[in-house]
Amino acid sequence: MESTRPRTTVDEGAREPAATRRPTEPLWRDALGRCLRRLRFDRGETLVETARRAGVSPQYLSEMERGVKEPSSEMIAAVAGALDVSLGDLTLAVATSLLAAPAVTAPAGATCKAAYALAA
């Protein structure tokens, strides 16, 4: 005779209740995308204009700005150059926006605390 126990997937059994789950930290690619879009808007440029100067397709730049792509450092440098910003300044802007995220989403581990202290 077969068991009448309902089937569950591995994920269903391992899920934590929503109230006990830790909030997720913002992703680097999302923060990068927001910074790139803000810089492009500040210059009054279209995706096509910036993408052409960076040597990427407008679709790819749009995906970078929306945080869909995990771009290589070469792609990030190309877009930064097209926006007349140094890679260092762009990296600092992204890192600053991540540090400004709500404190409840930031990890509290010793390694992260040391990294935040070094960044300050």
Question: Residue 89 is encoded by which pair of tokens?
Answer: 């300044």
pLDDT of amino acid 60 = 97
pLDDT of amino acid 8 = 46
pLDDT of amino acid 109 = 55
* Structure-token match 């929306």, residue found: 66
Rg over alpha carbons for the chain, rounded to the nearest Å, is: 20
pTM across the whole model: 0.67
pLDDT of amino acid 3 = 45
Contact call for residues 62 and 47 (beta carbons, < 8 A): yes
Question: Degrees (nearest 5) of the Cα angle 63, 65, 67?
Answer: 70
CATH class of domain segment(s) 28-98? mainly alpha
Name which of 29, 20, 46, 49 is nearest 97 in CA terms: 29
Q: What's the burial of 3, exposed, middle or buried (CB within 10 Å: 0-12/13-18/19+)? A: exposed
pLDDT of amino acid 24 = 74
**Which sequence spans correspond to the domains of the chain?**
28-98
The number of beta carbons lying within 10 Å of the beta carbon of residue 78 is 19
pLDDT of amino acid 105 = 45
* Structure-token match 């089937």, residue found: 7
H or E, element range at 19: none
Over the chain (120 residues), the average pLDDT of each successive run of 10 is 48 52 78 97 97 97 96 96 96 93 56 53
Single-letter residue type at 44: G
